[in-house]
A and B are shown apart, each in its own frame.
Chain A
Amino acid sequence: MSVVVPAAMLVLWELCSRLAIISPRYFPPPTTVGWVLADRVAAGDLGAELVVTLTRLVFAFALAAVPAIPLGLLMGIARPVRHVVEPYLAFIFPVPKITLLPFLLIILGLGEPAFVLTGASSAFFQIVISTLAGVQTMDPRLLDVGRNYGAHGLRLFGKVILPAALPAIFTGLRLGLGLALVTLVAVEFIAAKSGLGHLVYRHWQMLSTPEMYAAFALIGAVGLVLTRGLRALQARVLTWQDDSGG
């Protein structure tokens, strides 16, 4: 079934487009899109745009994860820190992060830092919140047991708290990476002059629909590989834990 239905949908689309039941101008047959995709990949320009988007994603993700995990852990351990930071998290978390783009654009100017930071901000808040939740929802008995056996301070943190929070941190990283990709592609669509998101925008404006769908398909593939791949990795690395907060 999982092969039949998608295949049937593609065949149906192909037929409707070929027979001009749906406008081939707006909905070119999948085979045409496939050929264009192969063609552009062979020519190298699609690959180049993919690399641009992925590079931005790597920077955004790193910029988010490196401060977010320590902050989340610190908030989990130290109550005062949590009380001080929480209002900002609560205020910014539900806000569409794309609205930060104009602010970063006026402060940093139109360019890579503004694009990357917008993507990073959407991952950052997710990772902080997941990490914090990981520390907060850990079984308090684990802490008691650790203390009873003489683990304090750094030892307690390294041997008990961090391992207990690890699955939630991983979940946060996985969700954060997905959010960063979504935000980055949207930023590319709106403001950047390169990347897969911009490719969709440009080909929409020029009505070169096969190229548009090709870029579309590539974005879907990247998202699929990232989400599925990380989930598989998580299941492998953290075999003893359920996926929490996913």
Chain B
Amino acid sequence: MKALGRWLTEHGMTVGSPIALLLAWEWASATGLLRAVFFPRPSTILAHLRDLALDGTLWGHTATTLARIGWSFTLAAVLGVAIGLAMGLWRRLREGLDPVFAVIYPIPSVLFLPLVSFIVPAGEVALVVTSAVTSFFLIAFTTTHGVRQIDRLVVEAAVHYGARGWRLFATVLLPGALPFIFTGLRLGLGFSLIVVVAVEIVSASRGLGALLWLSWQILKVEDMYATFFVIALLGALLSYGLAALRDRLLPWVPDVGDR
């Protein structure tokens, strides 16, 4: 009881403010202060969320989106870490690819959809590849930086003690770069969600982004809010869940992105 009281004084505002806002919203929409067409009552949205969940619509779309995130993140992670490591190790490769990456990176990944759909079959594959673009660059950049920031003294000491080639890489360079690789992967996963949803809005007929866009087009405003809520939940889970997982599994690995 005492612990609860202490917790409440510490977090009371943080918990109270969303509750107060939701209540105020509920009241304002019910009395017509807010136009319920645009801002349906939270209780109505919740009811729609329940309906969408019960008839299975929501699960299907969520599963589709999650599968796409999984595929595109895997693609981005494998290529990003590999190329990032290579760029960190070989100066010439880095100098060569840097300007190419610098021009491509700021282009929003949704825009790659046309380009990608010329190369791979349109539809699911194009969607996954397009969604991987931004995460790939992010992961490659952080990995490169992770290799480059390793203290030269450490590397030289290791070389002195006879570590070369694979041994040097596996015992010195890779562990040294690991915190950065993890940060890159965490940021990359967050971006996978963002881009998958964006691409779904543009081109898909399934997935949470598509559900949101279709709900807009037929003006099912409550479903829009419900879908948005699920997307936000997914985003919170991906970004905070992963950070918590890292703290738990790898407590000694600092998150360089939190600086």
Contacts and interface: CB of A to CB of B under 8 A. Distances in A.
Interface of A: 1-6, 9, 23, 26-27, 80, 83-88, 90-96, 98-99, 101-103, 105-107, 137, 178, 181-183, 185-186, 189-190, 197, 200-201, 204, 212, 216, 219-224, 226-228, 244-245
Contacts of B107: 185, 216, 219-220, 223
A27 B113 CA distance: 14
Nearest to A1: B95
A93 B187 CA distance: 13
Classify the interface of chain A: helix, strand, loop or mixed.
Answer: helix
A95 B208 CA distance: 12
Contacts of A95: 228, 231-232, 235
Contacts of B195: 96
Contact of A2 (B96, B108, B197, B240): B96
Given A83-B14, A189-B110, A106 B96 contact: no
B106 A96 contact: no
A238 to B, nearest CB: 16
B14 A4 contact: no
B97 interface: yes
A140 B102 CA distance: 37
30 contacts: A1-B95, A1-B96, A5-B95, A9-B100, A80-B13, A83-B17, A88-B18, A91-B18, A94-B232, A94-B238, A94-B240, A96-B193, A96-B209, A98-B201, A99-B201, A99-B209, A99-B212, A102-B215, A103-B228, A185-B111, A186-B111, A189-B108, A189-B110, A190-B201, A197-B108, A220-B104, A223-B106, A224-B106, A227-B106, A228-B102
B230 to A, nearest CB: 10
B14 A186 contact: no
B232 A98 contact: no
Given A106-B221, A220-B103, A200 B111 contact: yes
Interface in B206-241: 209, 212-213, 215-216, 219, 221, 224, 228, 231-232, 235-236, 238-240
A19 to B, nearest CB: 18
Contacts of B103: 220-221, 223-224
B19 to A, nearest CB: 10
Contacts of B104: 220
Contacts of A182: 106, 108
A22 to B, nearest CB: 9
**6 A-B pairs with least C-beta separation:** A223-B106, A5-B96, A94-B235, A83-B13, A102-B216, A204-B114
Contact of B106 (A3, A181, A245): A181
Given A226-B106, A244-B259, A6 B99 contact: yes
Given A1-B92, A2-B96, A95-B232, 6 more contacts: A5-B99, A94-B193, A94-B236, A99-B209, A189-B110, A228-B102
A207 B86 CA distance: 36
B105 interface: yes
A4 B212 contact: no
Nearest to A84: B17
B201 A5 contact: no
Interface centre among A26, A83, A93, A244 (most CB of B within 10 A): A83
Given A1-B92, A4-B96, A228-B102, A96 B231 contact: yes
B59 interface: no
A228 B99 CA distance: 11
Q: For chain B, give the interface size range.
A: 35 or more
A194 B20 CA distance: 41
A61 to B, nearest CB: 15
Contacts of B216: 102, 105-106
Contacts of B18: 87-88, 91
Nearest to B216: A102
A106 B228 CA distance: 14
B106 A216 contact: no
Contacts of A183: 108
A181 B103 CA distance: 14
B231 A99 contact: yes
A103 to B, nearest CB: 7
